[in-house]
Amino acid sequence: MFAVVLVGGFGTRLRPLTEYTPKQMLPICGVPMIEWVVSHLADHGVQEVGLALGYRPDAFLNAYPNGEIAGIPYRIAVEAEALGTAGAIRFAAQEMQLEETFLVLNGDVLTDLDVSALVEFHSQHEAEATIALQTVSDPSRFGVVTTADSGQVEEFIEKPTLGKSPSNSINAGTYVINRSVVDRIPEGRPVSVERETFPEMADARTLYAMESNTYWLDTGTPEQFLQANLDVLQGRRKNRPDLPRASIQATAEVEESVIGTGSHIDAGAIVKRSVLFNDCHICHGATIIDSVLSDGVYVGEGTRLEGCVIGSNQRIEAGATLIGENKPES
């Protein structure tokens, strides 16, 4: 089956990491997020993917110039302006001339979902579209779904008020959709699949949903991005790639952290629950906790960073203390 992966968003919540790099090209334990997503699809028999691009399409084309991602051929549709999640599906289906049922994925979700079971469920229930559901403790940030015993969706409510959610089952961002769904999406303006298309289909009783409780993480915020890295490190995912090579002095203290290729951690520095991209330098006596540092960041002696997101090539001078700060790319 063909899969359209939505990767055209601006990723504003992950700035400054996404200032020049689209979210799905950020590394999770050294491997760009899009490769995690595509290789999972390949494990479920997907033979070709379509990237619905918008923000910084060149980042993908430059990284995968031979037309393959993780060994899977890809096609592209580049939106001239952001069309929203449903608008992007419509545009991609037209550009890629999709005539059959296809998969759609939010490209910023990492999951071990049984995609084959979702496709099977979709055809057994003769649904027009089927969405994967995940149970979460706080559904207020997501699209909440209630279903009948048959799996038919009764209600689809995007981001309900805190404490007023009718269920803890949320839209997990993987869908199987028939070609007829594309014709439901209005042309010529941005359309959200979560706010328009799915609620309308729920009313029309043609939308189904399959419960799944496997590894699932939306990586949209710095905390979640950090968590995605730690989950791989701590073996919560089915696969773990070779980790990047860094040079860490014997007396540096590094715990639960991913340190990118070419990064140096000097003696007496402490790095905990953090992700450092490539070519960072952490000087003697610096402490980095719960932070994400993009490529080429320099952290001077005795500096303390806690809960920070630092853009590439920033210099944090010796002795500084930064708590919960974001620093743009320099």
The answer to whether residue 32 forms part of the interface with ligand GTP (CB under 6 A) is no
Is residue 35 a contact residue for ligand GTP (CB under 6 A)? no
Residues 276 and 293: beta-carbon distance below 8 Å: yes
| CA distances for 272 relative to 30, 218, 306, angstroms | 17, 22, 10
- Considering the complex, state which of residue 70 and residue 269 has its C-beta at the smaller distance from ligand GTP: 70
Element (H, E) at 85: helix 84-95
**199 binds ligand GTP, rule: CB under 6 A:** no
**Using the rule CB under 6 A, is 82 a contact of ligand GTP?**
yes
Between 11 and 139, name the residue whose CB sits nearer to ligand GTP: 11
Choose, by CB under 6 A, the member of 27, 220, 244, 307 that binds ligand GTP. Answer: 220
Q: Report how many residues bind ligand GTP under the rule CB under 6 A.
A: 21
Stated as kind and residue range, the H or E segment containing 255 is: strand 253-255
For residue 325, which amino acid is it? Answer: E
Residue span 100-139 as binding mask against ligand GTP, x where in contact by CB under 6 A, dash where not? ------xxx-------------------------------
Does residue 88 belong to the site contacting ligand GTP (CB under 6 A)?
Answer: yes
Determine, following the binding rule CB under 6 A, whether residue 151 of this chain makes contact with ligand GTP. no
The verdict on 54 binding ligand GTP (CB under 6 A) reads: yes
Bridge pairing between strands 292-293 and 309-310 = parallel
- Name which of 8 and 260 has its Cβ closer to ligand GTP: 8
Q: Does 258 contact ligand GTP by CB under 6 A?
A: no
Q: Enumerate the β-bridge partners of residue 263.
A: none
Instruction: Tell me the window of 41-49, 62-70, 83-91, 148-156 that interacts with ligand GTP (CB under 6 A).
Output: 83-91
Residue 12 interacting with ligand GTP (CB under 6 A):
yes
CB atoms within 10 A of CB 94: 12
CB atoms within 10 A of CB 196: 19
94 sits near ligand GTP (criterion: CB under 6 A): no
What is the C-alpha separation between 330 and 326, in angstroms, rounded?
Answer: 12
Identity of the residue numbered 71: G
Cα(276)–Cα(104) distance, rounded to whole angstroms?
31
Is residue 196 part of the contact set for ligand GTP (CB under 6 A)? no
**Is 143 among the residues that bind ligand GTP (CB under 6 A)?**
no
* 222 interacts with ligand GTP by CB under 6 A: no
**Chain position carrying tokens 């689809």:** 156
**Residue 36: which of 110, 86, 121 has the closest Cα?**
110
- Residues at the interface with ligand GTP (CB under 6 A): 6-13, 23, 52, 54, 79, 82-85, 88, 106-108, 220
